Structure 1
Amino acid sequence: MTRIALYARYSSESQRDSSIEDQFRICREQAKREGWKVVACYKDAGISGSSMILRPGIQMLLQDAQEGQFDLVLAEALDRVSRDQADVATLFKHLKFAGVPIITRAEGEITELHVGLKGTMNALFLKDLAAKTHRGLRGRVEDGKSGGGLCYGYKVVKKLDHRGELVRGDREIDVYEAEVVRRIFREFAAGIGPRTIAKTLNDEGFAGPAGKPWIDTTIRGHQKRGSGIVNNELYIGRLIWNRLRYVKDPSTGRRVSRVNPDSDRIVTEVPELRIVDDQLWQAVRARQSEIVEKYAKVTEAVREHHRKNKLNGARRPKSLLSGLIFCGCCGGRYSLRGAGRFACSSHIANKSCSNSRTIPREELENRVVAGLKDRMMSPEIAAEAMRTHAEETNRLNRERRSNGDTWRVELEKTGRELEKAINAILAGVPPLTLKEKIEKLETRKAELSALLADVPEDAPVLLPSASAIYAKKVAKLTETLNRPDGRAEAAEALRTLIEKIVLRPGPNRGEIEAMLYGELGTILNWVEPQAVGKTAKKNTPAENAAGVSVSVVAGTGFEPVTFRL
């Protein structure tokens, strides 16, 4: 029987979560008609179709296809997979190389012709949609209404027009927040630094934009881009729109902002929204000029250094632990600050956290790698993992068998009821009296058959060799971290084993405690294919060198494993 994977996506808030299930339902109906077996479902909810790079569902589908877990992919339409022409072509090539065709209900089996024509049409649709949206927002701004978003110091005006529809884009001054804005302007003009202002506001209980704590960048922003409290010209009654444009970086799929020339900007006077007077506004501008002049030589020296050292201008490579380190005092993130040291971002930005301890990047990475290698799957933890995994697997298997047995019994009962109804008609009972009953029985029989067709097979029980396999794979990954050609892949594989790392100040001066949290379910899935004797074709770069298996599925029903580093 042909094994298939389903893919579904919806992209905006105007669409419903049930859109995913609707797409899955119609795809399952086609699979039933064709006699295919659904073995996996992938979805991306609330994510745009303009790029595949940032969609975890489509990335997991591609990885599993390369491992031969299914024979074809079924979706509602090609634009559900992606509207980006280059992404569609790339996915098509990868799936074709893996021997997995794409079939959609709208287009049938996807070929090079569909990729070219439909990809072009979808790309033109996105471009046309962006142009229409831009035109509509410009008209709103020229009428003195907001082009989107809500600045600090204002609140949304909710009212209806003569047709009873909500009027969008109207704003009015929030008296409470407006006084905070004036205070920030006064203190900045008086020479108080943004970091000190942010700390004072947080200490006094004033919430920042969107209810978040104040940080220095929220106040100072970027002068040329017009970001930050002290650069927002709306506070002097000038609504400026189209200051920035956004383009997608093809290497990451992320949008990157670019500053538009002054001629492209739309400026509308809205004196009713003025919060700051001209005198205070100019005082802040003078203070900014003093800062620029004071640090002009330093800024120029830094720029000259980067011009001479092109390598320093390149993007800094992602750290092994980027995004995984959290502060145990405030719950915020730790990030690289200064000369390769991790520090609490909240403490650095606004002093809202008392944790001033820092730790060198190299030291923390060594502690984490050592912990993963020697302690994450020690014999004691491995034994507990085996017990937990066996219990969860048995529970899921019992649940699958119980549901399947119940449905089979009901299916047999439904079949007998149908047979009785047909025999009654043959015995002379008027067919109209049994028509409704027969229709209900046939509907229920079809439902039960569909449910039984989707009952998954029992999950395999993991063998006790997982601990040894884990230790061997981590040792190989650790070795590969020291080789430039395989470091990126090895680092990504190690990151999948880490849920988070929490850093807290230790009892002694300068000491910092590190706690590593790992998901046992993820670890077990990481070693399971080899533990149960499965082999599959891998196309992961540097895999032969590092023993990498990046197709990791998060486990369910497992408590996280935790230990100090």
Structure 2
Amino acid sequence: MQKATPRVAVYARYSDDKQQATSVEDQIRRCREVAARYGLAIDPELVFSDSAITGRESGEKHREGFRRLREAWDARGFDVLLVDEFSRLSRDAVTQAKLQRQLENDRRVRMITADGVDTAREGWQLQLGLHGVMAQYESRRTQFRVPRGMQGQLERGYMIAAAPFGYDNARRFDDFGTRIGTHWVINEWEAQIVRKVFEMREAGSSMHQIAAWLNTEGIPCSRGARTEDGGYWRPSRVKILLGNPAYRGVFIWHGSTTYRSRMEKLGDPVETVEYPRPELRLVSDETWFRCNSRSISRTGYGGGKHVLAGLVTCGFCRGTLALTARSKRSLSMYCPACTVAKAVKGVPRLTSTVRATGVQQVLSEAIRYFLSPEFLQAFRHSLDLRMNGDNQGEIDACRSRLDKLRATQERLSRMLQHVTDDDPVLEARYGEARNQVVETQRKLAELEAARAKVNAADVERQKTVDPAAELVAIFDAELPPERLRAVLARLFPQVVFVRASRHSKVGRQA
């Protein structure tokens, strides 16, 4: 009886760690050479591959080719599996162990690798195990080398991630056409949108309102969106945009929430490093931090229709006071958390209420008290200092020096790339240039942060206006509640309902 011709499958994979896209073709070519030596014929329909996906556990759910290979294996769709090396199947220890057990329990499938493993030979388990350990070790080394190289790029002034909204990628090449790094450059059209978003948020707009405005204007939220119109803005995406420190001219290494979450699961501490990028600044530090504080609205998303919604804090549990329904005889504020806790657990809590009009009156009196003649005089003096303290010339000189230092650093970096032997002198010069770049970046960031953008006409108007007269009547102004809340939040960072008694009072904390 003639023996059936074995069905032969091939699997190939390359990752971005250190391989190129042609690696898959090279792996398949080597598998064809192995098949020719063994007198095997590869079935074209049984050639599986994955491109630009890691072999670690984190990448398995994205490996469509590997998934189809496992399905064909479970369905007994082939008899021989050819791979360039065992690490192409997986670098994860658990997955490797499962594959080895499957090969031991299902001997109808024979695996042959281009680097010498053949499960038809005696003792193949030891050889495969050694190859697996080496693959795991190489994976760990890669996990160390890649972050080290990325941080080195940051120290050299380059960027390591895709440019966010408001910027474009600008790749840099050496004289031989080799890419040496990527800079972010400001996209002026998108930058105007970013500044408008911060302006709206600073004026009290909720993230829902900002997202609605962006969608109404037809502004695409992502260059890589799945839809042709660029996708829709959602409040969560607006929050991510506002929280990006790049808009204040800083890139934070290990500052992403994804990285922090992963480190928390592993139980490892998170060590962040700030890299100044003053040329990327779109908003001032004051604006950025104010927009990312909790003072504008209670949750950062809504804020309520009443001017006091989300502004008053319970002095007992630090929760946020809510307002009673407008159908009540008088609009009052109370702490819902304390009310529920006392009803359910019977513990002492702050369950008194305070009239909303009373809170407004207290805040108006506080404004009168703080806006004294001495305060107004100091305020106008600070405006004079802003007019006369502009440091644009110093900033321009610092930027010019930074450009020259970066050019020197790049030149030394190219020289190091083409040196075959160790050159301590050249390495020392490169280290000095790198340190000078980092120090100059830090200095420029300080100058940018210290410099207030002064508009002479605006400053003169501020000097002539009477803030006391304007602010005392603030509750009578016909302003949207979110805008008025933003003003109150800047005047009173915290408004605390401090005690429950017949004569309840509202306290102010700076």
TM-score by length of 2: 0.50
Higher relative contact order (CA 8 A, sep 6+): 2
Report the structure number with the largest CA radius of gyration. 2
Relative to the length of structure 1, the TM-score reads 0.45
